[in-house]
A and B are shown apart, each in its own frame.
Chain A
Amino acid sequence: MNYEYDPKAPEHIIRRDFLKQLSAAGAAAMMAGEPRSLSANDVGHFAHPAATADSCILLWMGGGMAAPDTFDPKRYLPFEKGLKVADMLSTFPAIPTAVSGLEICEGMEGIASVMDRATLIRSAVQPDLGSILHSRHQYHWHTGYVPPQTVAAPHIGAWMARVLGPQNPVMPAFINIGQRLEGVGESEELKAFTTAGFFGSEYGPLNLPYPEEAAKSVRPPQGMTGDRFVNRNRLYRKLIDQSPERALMSDYQQESMLRSMENAYRLLSSKERDAFDIALEPEETRQKYDTGRFGRGCLLARRLVESGARFVEVTTEYVPFLHWDTHSEGHTTMDRMHKEIDSPIKQLILDLEERGMLERTLVVIASEFSRDALIEGQPGSNAADQARDKVDELSEMKHYGLHRHFTGGTSVVMFGGGMKRGFVYGKTADERPLMAVENPVSIEDLHATIMTAMGVSPKTGYDIEGRPFYVTKDAKGEAVQELFA
């Protein structure tokens, strides 16, 4: 097709005929309505940076992990009747860590002991999206885009699966541990971002809601012995070989179908499938991790990364009003959450280090936003308003805690993967509102940092339905260089 001047076309309207610029393979993908990778030719200079990490484990504190009660301790006042909420900042005292001068909250002594392997960002910020809703901020954190979008945005795990693929071709590239997607509140909202979006399900997550049952998902169906599984596949191969329609098998579509079936069989009958079975760990190790589903998920993540998975997310699970989503009994719940995450995270870091993998594995602890004790945002408000004073005094223990959503200053921890060790970046105010007052890090820049560590340019993009769609919003994310070792 040629570009020609069309006298009837309205003036000053730019049109493009993108087909013109496609390579042959790209054209085929385009014809199928599938996304096409954008090249330097399309978008100007861009090159993938040298990777400092080969795999990434995201430890997701779904529900809004309160920074002042975890990684960013502020003035601590213990519970007493009549305590003014306005005076309450942290509900846990600070404890020292392996890094001199760095303190985190009591209850995380294990993590404190490995903070010398960590970069701690205390100034992650989220934009104001009107009402501060978990689902929208989680979507934003996981895809880099604020919902709703006109095309289905891919999860960052899907981006890694699409751009990098698995380290080991037998393993699924993107594995999601611990989040149930059925039967929990807001499950539809969770599904909306737990997806490969327009990349298609090849790059989507393998969902493993129960770590202890993960082995099942890569095993033959329940009740089928290994021999029978092998025999079933043998029969299948024979029937394919003997098919009178063999002539049609050169068909591209059939070939790709058979390849996928073969891939699935390979995983389901491979030694790598043992990586999904945490029961194969020594009892002693399992105990160090086993604080609950999250802890077991961390152990599973370690095994999967050892076997060549690219991106693994492990969540404490988002269920409205549970876990980190503390709208009452905040302090008590927080105490339980500390116990749930402390030992497995410490052990994960030590295990990766012992195996010589920490250098090339980026472990990220993050959450959709932080929390504060006072009133949360309303539509049209800004982050500073989220900490608006509301006169209140504590009468009962259940009111003691950080019960409100806050997007002005959130902590993110990164271990390994080329990040600095024992390093703190950014800071929040010491008095309410606890806003990031130094080096704020947006989601775009945080994602750019993670992607850069993984060797993916933040400008990486795909053309979908004629719209360029980038791994960081509009290709604008910039890696925070100061964080790299």
Chain B
Amino acid sequence: MISRLTSLFFFTLLLPLSTSAEAKPIDFAHDVVPILQKHCVECHGGREAKGSFSLNTRALWVESGFVDTDDVAASHIIDLVTSDDPESQMPPKGKARVSDQEVAILKQWISEDLPWEAGFSFGVQSYEPPLKPRRPTIPAADGNRSHPIDRLIDQHLAEYGLPRPGLIDDATFLRRVHLDLVGLLPTPEELQKFLADQSPDKRTHKIRELLADDTAYADHWLSFFNDLLRNDYSGTGFITGGRKQVSSWLYESLLYNKPFDQMARELIAPSSDASRGFIDGIKWRGNVSAGQTVEIQFAQSLGQAFLGINLKCASCHDSFIDRWTLEESYGLAAIYSQRELEIHRCDKPIGKTAKAGWFFPELGQIDPLASREVRLQQLAGLMAHPENGRFTRTIANRFWHRLMGRGIVHPLDAMQSKPWNEDLLDFLAISLRDQNYDLKQLLELIATSESYQSQVEIIEGPQSGDYVFRGPRSRRLTAEQFLDSVWQITGSAPDKFDAPVFRTKVSAEQKTDLKLKAEWIWGDSAKGVPPANETIVVRTIIDLRAAVKRGGAVLTCDNSHVLFINRREVDKGDDWTKVRTLPLHTLLKPGKNDITAIVTNGGATPNPAGFFFDARLQLENGETVSLSSDATWEWNPNAPTTREGRLGGIKGTWKPVTIVEPNKSWTGAVNAQATALLAVAADGKSLMVRASLLKNTALMKSLGRPMREQIVSMRPTQLTTLEAIDLSNEASLARAFETGARHLIAQSDGDAKRLTRELFLFALSREPTSNETQIISDMLGEKPEPSKVEDLLWSICMLPEFFLIR
């Protein structure tokens, strides 16, 4: 305890110091808040304002007249807290006095003009989002507006006395729904067919047809999920093996329309390495702050992606934004943590250890004593729990935002805020659960409403006040939508992509005349029965005359393998009954490629062991190459060390492998799977390469594709000047327009009118007006020159009408 004397000494010393440059400036959050909380908040904070004084915000302090920043000593508040008069002193008689040291801090705080934490308030936010799902009553239909969303929206509009927004025509609908659901423009042929269709439910049919285009759907929604899971094909962390993609798993999940609860479970408690990258986050090199360890990243990513809860604040201190505390954030982190997690407040340990636990014990709790694997499974179960309404509301809100331009809760990662229509959000969320978390069903539900199919709201300027629904908001094309659309019109998409994914489905009944060529291989021990736990290395070197355009491998190993291509780890498996697939177009290079696998036998006694690898490749020079495990492969008994996913040096001599006669259980489990999977891997179908499958480029970055080091759930809505400069002169874009001009001229046999019409139909889903035709024909003349067509193409693609979905 500080004696009266020393504290007085401290007090007198502090004051003169506080005005000099050397004084430590006051730290509001750490120095002042605790004093106010201890002595004042009970009667003057939150809803309390005894004596009409509320200390909730800085503005209230200034207005109160209790503080005088020019003459600190004259401040009324200082009189009150230092007074000996039992009638007027604060805190009132009977309560602990404010210590001299605390008074000194308050004085310094006042003298420094009341520094405050931006946005901080002692007030308590009155809204607490409900946890459980709720089935709202759907109001009666007004006339033929029978769609539940429209019935809810009509009620909302009636409440505000607003008219229903007008409905859009078929062409506008088609363009909108194409871009929204699959990220592509409708072709002129599709447009004309749709316009000619007389059936009354053609819009619903179109929505279903688009959602049934599995590849286009996966290509498009891949970007949404890559942003949400901060997954990418290049970026910081990959080079040191500190980060892993979930691309293959993610693409496959979308291609097969995996239910969203299952996706979440597989991300939170991965059953294989394929979806592990999300929870493992980014392991940065060197020391990181306590708020950025992989464990805390886990808590932040999980909270943001699945619950729209921003834990970035609560990973350093109790959140100022919502109700989450530091300990709760660490509790979530501790579920993932393999070590004892010491709680740090703003990078300083507070002497407590985190206890695994999660936010909503009402649904069940994590057993902190269970193994990490079990804890993660428990968390996965709780997150995707049917009674976890926050989970379904968060994703439903994100999808509504994508289709309607604004969230029902907005911003999307502030799910602690009140939605503008609780019934609507709850309805979407419970519908998702009713439909077994089928995201396509959710999209269909929204897109089939007249509310979706109505005219966009025209916003005259920055908005303030409470949001009311006046129609969907127009949305600018994302970087990917813009490039895909330009590539569609100009026919200039790149012919190779970077994402390690297969874009077509495997169907069980798929007829294939593809024959497996691979044999099962092992080392010398396979001449007898290989010992348990034997680890050896097998390898081959393949010389490719050109880069790989597409193709992939199937592989498996009894019992486990780690595969390296050009000495970098690319695949891992420990369940031989599940054949693994590996896209190879990004992994192999022209020239010599080293393919090495460290393979391990399992069991307790000697038992059969074998490695199986079969690949088909199409090279850019048109050549087709098979690469299969066979007698030409070599083996070596000296398994090397690996570091940061790189293969170490291998000592000793290499000998030819032993071909292992496959046993029945191998062929039974593997052959059918492998054939079907290899058929997909080798699939020669040439689909347009989509921007979502490419590594980020300067142009895409400029157009708003995030770097994905952090989760970014909303792309920019405005077009910036730097983007406009790129759009005006970026070389790859200019080349696309150049290619496009030649295509357009050829397609229209050089007829300016036909060319104009085709271009308008494709780019804008409408016919040109006579004015537009006139302007363009004045410019193009009779025989359009490529350079002029190029400029026309550019002009059309820069129109807000092109750039916005509306």
Q: Please report A residues at the B interface, Cβ cutoff 8 Å.
A: 1-6, 8-10, 12-21, 24-25, 27-33, 38, 40-45, 128-133, 135-136, 146-152, 172, 181-182, 186, 188-189, 191-192, 195, 200-202, 204, 206-207, 216-222, 224, 228, 231-232, 235-236, 238-240, 242-245, 248-254, 256-258, 260-261, 263-265, 267-268, 379, 461, 463, 465-468, 476, 478, 481
- Closest Cβ of chain B: how far from A26's Cβ, in Å? 9
A239 and B772 contact, CB distance less than 8 A? yes
Q: Which of A32, A218, A265 has the most CB of B within 10 A?
A: A32
B58 and A466 contact, CB distance less than 8 A? no
* B196 CB–A CB distance under 8 Å: no
Contact of A257 among B459, B465, B772, B803 (CB under 8 A): B803
Given the known A-B contacts A4-B126, A150-B291, are A461 and B118 also in contact in the complex, defined by CB atoms under 8 Å? yes
Given the known A-B contacts A16-B119, A192-B236, are A465 and B310 also in contact in the complex, defined by CB atoms under 8 Å? yes
Question: A245 to B175, alpha carbons, bound, how many Å?
Answer: 15
* B128 CB–A CB distance under 8 Å: yes
* B256 CB–A CB distance under 8 Å: no
Given the known A-B contacts A20-B121, A252-B459, are A150 and B58 also in contact in the complex, defined by CB atoms under 8 Å? no
Q: Enumerate the 4 nearest inter-chain pairs by beta-carbon distance, A residue then B residue, closest first.
A: A3-B123, A45-B113, A44-B115, A24-B464
Q: Which of B69, B125, B456, B464 has the most CB of A within 10 A?
A: B125
B126 and A3 contact, CB distance less than 8 A? yes
* B410 CB–A CB distance under 8 Å: yes
A481 and B300 contact, CB distance less than 8 A? no
Given the known A-B contacts A15-B320, A467-B312, are A44 and B28 also in contact in the complex, defined by CB atoms under 8 Å? yes
Q: Which residue of B lies closest to A232 (CB)?
A: B791
A33 and B411 contact, CB distance less than 8 A? yes
Contact of B118 among A257, A258, A468 (CB under 8 A): A468
B710 and A151 contact, CB distance less than 8 A? yes
* B213 CB–A CB distance under 8 Å: no
B458 and A148 contact, CB distance less than 8 A? no
- Closest Cβ of chain A: how far from B667's Cβ, in Å? 44
- Closest Cβ of chain B: how far from A136's Cβ, in Å? 6
* B313 CB–A CB distance under 8 Å: yes
Question: A231 to B790, alpha carbons, bound, how many Å?
Answer: 12
Contact of B719 among A260, A465, A476 (CB under 8 A): A260
A2 and B126 contact, CB distance less than 8 A? yes
- Closest Cβ of chain B: how far from A287's Cβ, in Å? 30
Given the known A-B contacts A43-B116, A235-B779, are A219 and B460 also in contact in the complex, defined by CB atoms under 8 Å? no
A195 and B707 contact, CB distance less than 8 A? yes
Given the known A-B contacts A21-B119, A188-B238, A232-B795, are A10 and B323 also in contact in the complex, defined by CB atoms under 8 Å? yes
Contacts of A42 in B (CB 8 A): 58, 116, 118-119
A252 and B461 contact, CB distance less than 8 A? yes
Q: Which residue of B lies closest to A174 (CB)?
A: B722
A3 and B125 contact, CB distance less than 8 A? yes
User: B682-709 toward A: CB 8 Å interface, digit per residue (1/0)?
Assistant: 0000000000000000100110101101
- Closest Cβ of chain B: how far from A237's Cβ, in Å? 9
Question: A133 to B286, alpha carbons, bound, how many Å?
Answer: 8
A13 and B285 contact, CB distance less than 8 A? no
Question: A132 to B418, alpha carbons, bound, how many Å?
Answer: 46
B709 and A466 contact, CB distance less than 8 A? no
Question: A393 to B110, alpha carbons, bound, how many Å?
Answer: 61
A150 and B239 contact, CB distance less than 8 A? no
Q: Which residue of A lies closest to B414 (CB)?
A: A466
Question: A135 to B313, alpha carbons, bound, how many Å?
Answer: 25
Question: A131 to B285, alpha carbons, bound, how many Å?
Answer: 8
Contacts of A191 in B (CB 8 A): 701, 707
Q: List 22 A-B contacts (CB under 8 A).
A: A3-B47, A6-B125, A13-B323, A14-B33, A18-B321, A21-B119, A24-B465, A31-B463, A136-B284, A188-B236, A192-B709, A200-B716, A200-B720, A206-B722, A235-B792, A242-B775, A252-B462, A254-B474, A260-B723, A268-B728, A466-B319, A466-B414
A151 and B312 contact, CB distance less than 8 A? yes
Q: Which of A4, A463, A466 has the most CB of B within 10 A?
A: A466
User: B273-303 toward A: CB 8 Å interface, digit per residue (1/0)?
Assistant: 0000000001011111101100000001000
Contact of A268 among B286, B460, B720, B725 (CB under 8 A): B725
Question: A236 to B707, alpha carbons, bound, how many Å?
Answer: 32
Q: Which of A10, A18, A261, A478 has the most CB of B within 10 A?
A: A261
B56 and A3 contact, CB distance less than 8 A? yes
Contacts of A152 in B (CB 8 A): 706-707, 709-710
Q: Please report B residues at the A interface, Cβ cutoff 8 Å.
A: 21, 25, 28, 33, 37, 46-48, 56-59, 69, 112-128, 234-239, 282, 284-289, 291-292, 300, 310, 312-313, 315, 318-323, 325, 410-414, 417-418, 456, 458-465, 467, 474, 476, 698, 701-702, 704, 706-707, 709-710, 714, 716-725, 727-731, 734, 769, 771-772, 775-776, 779, 787, 791-792, 794-796, 798-801, 803-804, 806
B462 and A264 contact, CB distance less than 8 A? no
A9 and B320 contact, CB distance less than 8 A? no
A240 and B799 contact, CB distance less than 8 A? yes
Q: Which residue of B lies closest to A132 (CB)?
A: B286
- Closest Cβ of chain B: how far from A169's Cβ, in Å? 10
Contact of B795 among A8, A32, A235 (CB under 8 A): A235
Q: Which of A17, A18, A202 has the most CB of B within 10 A?
A: A17
Contacts of B794 in A (CB 8 A): 232, 236
Q: Which residue of A lies closest to B787 (CB)?
A: A228
Q: Which residue of A lies closest to B235 (CB)?
A: A188
Q: Which of B28, B112, B791 has the most CB of A within 10 A?
A: B791
- Closest Cβ of chain B: how far from A340's Cβ, in Å? 26
B123 and A16 contact, CB distance less than 8 A? yes
A146 and B795 contact, CB distance less than 8 A? no
Contacts of B322 in A (CB 8 A): 15
Contacts of A245 in B (CB 8 A): 800-801
Contact of B728 among A2, A44, A133, A265 (CB under 8 A): A265
Give the secondary structure class of B's interface.
Answer: loop
Question: A20 to B288, alpha carbons, bound, how many Å?
Answer: 34
Contact of B21 among A8, A240, A258, A478 (CB under 8 A): A478
Given the known A-B contacts A5-B47, A235-B792, are A16 and B121 also in contact in the complex, defined by CB atoms under 8 Å? yes
B721 and A202 contact, CB distance less than 8 A? yes
B115 and A251 contact, CB distance less than 8 A? no
A31 and B411 contact, CB distance less than 8 A? yes
Contacts of B59 in A (CB 8 A): 21, 41
Q: Which residue of A lies closest to B61 (CB)?
A: A44
Question: A43 to B58, alpha carbons, bound, how many Å?
Answer: 8
- Closest Cβ of chain B: how far from A76's Cβ, in Å? 33
Q: Which residue of B lies closest to A151 (CB)?
A: B710
Q: Which of A21, A243, A250, A254 has the most CB of B within 10 A?
A: A254
Q: Which residue of B lies closest to A246 (CB)?
A: B801
Question: A409 to B122, alpha carbons, bound, how many Å?
Answer: 43
Question: A33 to B406, alpha carbons, bound, how many Å?
Answer: 11
Contacts of B116 in A (CB 8 A): 42-44
Contacts of B288 in A (CB 8 A): 146-148
A1 and B125 contact, CB distance less than 8 A? yes
Given the known A-B contacts A3-B56, A42-B119, A268-B729, are A16 and B125 also in contact in the complex, defined by CB atoms under 8 Å? yes
- Closest Cβ of chain A: how far from B331's Cβ, in Å? 14
Contacts of B323 in A (CB 8 A): 9-10, 13, 15
- Closest Cβ of chain A: how far from B233's Cβ, in Å? 11
A264 and B728 contact, CB distance less than 8 A? yes
Contact of B462 among A3, A28, A172, A239 (CB under 8 A): A28
B321 and A251 contact, CB distance less than 8 A? no
Question: A128 to B287, alpha carbons, bound, how many Å?
Answer: 9
- Closest Cβ of chain A: how far from B22's Cβ, in Å? 10
Contacts of B459 in A (CB 8 A): 251-253
Given the known A-B contacts A24-B464, A251-B458, are A201 and B702 also in contact in the complex, defined by CB atoms under 8 Å? yes
Q: Which of A200, A235, A481 has the most CB of B within 10 A?
A: A235
Contacts of B717 in A (CB 8 A): 32, 253
Contacts of B769 in A (CB 8 A): 242, 244
- Closest Cβ of chain A: how far from B290's Cβ, in Å? 12
B467 and A31 contact, CB distance less than 8 A? yes
Question: A146 to B463, alpha carbons, bound, how many Å?
Answer: 35
Contacts of A265 in B (CB 8 A): 724, 728
